[in-house]
Amino acid sequence: MKKFLNNTKNSWQWITLFITIIGGFWTIFKYFDNQNDEMAKTIQMAEKSIIWNDNIPVIERASVCDDYLARGYNSYTKKLCENVILQDDK
């Protein structure tokens, strides 16, 4: 009976260790996932700022528009990008 209790105690220690490790990895993953989401929002806002700024040359705005459209964003800015790219082609 004592041997069985010792084996059970060791099993629970391993299970607890495994769950702790999984929980730690999950926490780290969520942190970096949130950081990635924030970085994507920051990049989108920076690209919009460049696209909407008429003081920046059309060539640079068209380059940023290409990146903006490649990311798959769909908004009123997409329509402006299409016009900027047409201006760049002329």
| Local confidence band at 1 (pLDDT 50, 70, 90 cut-offs) | low
Domains of the chain: which residue ranges?
1-31, 40-90
CA–CA–CA angle 31, 50, 37 (5° rounding): 10
Q: Which residue has the higher pLDDT, 87 or 26?
A: 26
Element (H, E) at 49: helix 2-52
Tokens (6 digits) for 54: 């008429």
Q: What percent of the chain has pLDDT over 90?
A: 40
Averaged pLDDT score across all residues of the chain: 87
The dihedral sign for the CA sequence 79, 69, 84, 41: positive
Does pLDDT of 4 surpass 70? no
What lies within 8 Å, CB to CB, of 56 at 6+ separation is: 50
Q: In this predicted model, what pLDDT tens digit does every residue of 46-62 receive, in sequence order? A: 999 999 998 998 889 88
Query: Could you tell me the end-to-end alpha-carbon distance of the chain, in angstroms, rounded to an integer?
Result: 88
Which tens digits make up the pLDDT trace of 20-33?
Answer: 999 999 999 999 99
